[in-house]
Chains A and B, each alone.
Chain A
Amino acid sequence: SQQGEEDPQALSIQEGENATMNCSYKTSINNLQWYRQNSGRGLVHLILIRSNEREKHSGRLRVTLDTSKKSSSLLITASRAADTASYFCATASGGSNYKLTFGKGTLLTVNP
């Protein structure tokens, strides 16, 4: 069953612009993780944010979490062509904090 839903499904921007992707989920979570997947490559872990955290930064990435709205956002600043990929949010919820449930992802295209 699907827990996270990313929005939008696809996003196309110019290099240097910021990209924002959103994730909504249905049940209470223990943590939420964002992953990137390039064409033909595996999933790369970007950021983990726990349910008691509201914001985390890593380089050009900023993740926010609003547990009252059951939503998270991933902001990529000053995007580069190499950021072109699919981005997934994954939630660990219920009695487990290991079983990740992924959404369908947002396909980000950064045009040079």
Chain B
Amino acid sequence: GAGVSQTPSNKVTEKGKYVELRCDPISGHTALYWYRQSLGQGPEFLIYFQGTGAADDSGLPNDRFFAVRPEGSVSTLKIQRTERGDSAVYLCASSLTGTGGYEQYFGPGTRLTVT
């Protein structure tokens, strides 16, 4: 079946603008995660959804970052007033559930560049 998909694959925006990044998880996966990966680093956890609710948003760096998953499937990561330091690859992952320690399957990522 289809894997995790993310759109757009690349996004270039100006400092101060608002961006939305979309993630479409594997069908049937109730858990969805957002991570951020900077150059030369491993991914860093941002937020975890179990169903429609954000069960853990402890990784969001500040209140400019927000994510939703209104119907328990597609998720959107929203970044307000973007800063150059937000430039990174934003990765989405999904798993069967968030409990039980299941494998997380990652999408190809959205490369965000803030100029």
| A residues lining the B interface (CB < 8 Å) | 2, 4, 30-31, 33, 35, 41-45, 48, 50, 88, 90, 92, 96-105
Nearest-CB residue, chain B, relative to A102: B42
Q: Is B41 an interface residue (CB 8 A)?
A: yes
Most buried by B among A42, A44, A92, A102: A42
Q: Given the interface contacts A48-B101, A88-B42, A104-B42, does A98 sit within 8 Å of B33 by beta carbon?
A: yes
Q: Is B44 an interface residue (CB 8 A)?
A: yes
Asked whether, in the complex, the Cβ of B101 is within 8 Å of the Cβ of A102, the reply is no
The 19 sampled A-B contact pairs (Cβ below 8 Å) are: A4-B42, A30-B101, A33-B104, A42-B91, A42-B106, A42-B108, A45-B105, A48-B103, A50-B101, A92-B101, A96-B56, A97-B101, A99-B45, A100-B35, A100-B43, A100-B45, A104-B40, A104-B42, A105-B42
User: B56 contacts which chain A residues (CB < 8 A)?
Assistant: 96, 98-99
Q: Is B95 an interface residue (CB 8 A)?
A: yes
Asked whether, in the complex, the Cβ of B43 is within 8 Å of the Cβ of A102, the reply is yes
The main secondary structure of chain B at its interface with chain A is loop
**Chain B min CB distance to A38 (Å):** 11
What's the tally of chain B residues with a CB closer than 8 Å to chain A?
A: 29
Nearest-CB residue, chain B, relative to A48: B103
Asked whether, in the complex, the Cβ of B99 is within 8 Å of the Cβ of A97, the reply is yes
- Interchain CA distance A7-B43 in the complex, whole Å: 17
Asked whether, in the complex, the Cβ of B31 is within 8 Å of the Cβ of A45, the reply is no
The main secondary structure of chain A at its interface with chain B is strand
- Interchain CA distance A102-B106 in the complex, whole Å: 13
Q: Is B107 an interface residue (CB 8 A)?
A: yes
Nearest-CB residue, chain A, relative to B95: A98
**Chain A min CB distance to B25 (Å):** 13
- Interchain CA distance A31-B44 in the complex, whole Å: 17
User: A96 contacts which chain B residues (CB < 8 A)?
Assistant: 56
Most buried by B among A2, A42, A98, A103: A98
User: B102 contacts which chain A residues (CB < 8 A)?
Assistant: 48
Nearest-CB residue, chain B, relative to A2: B42
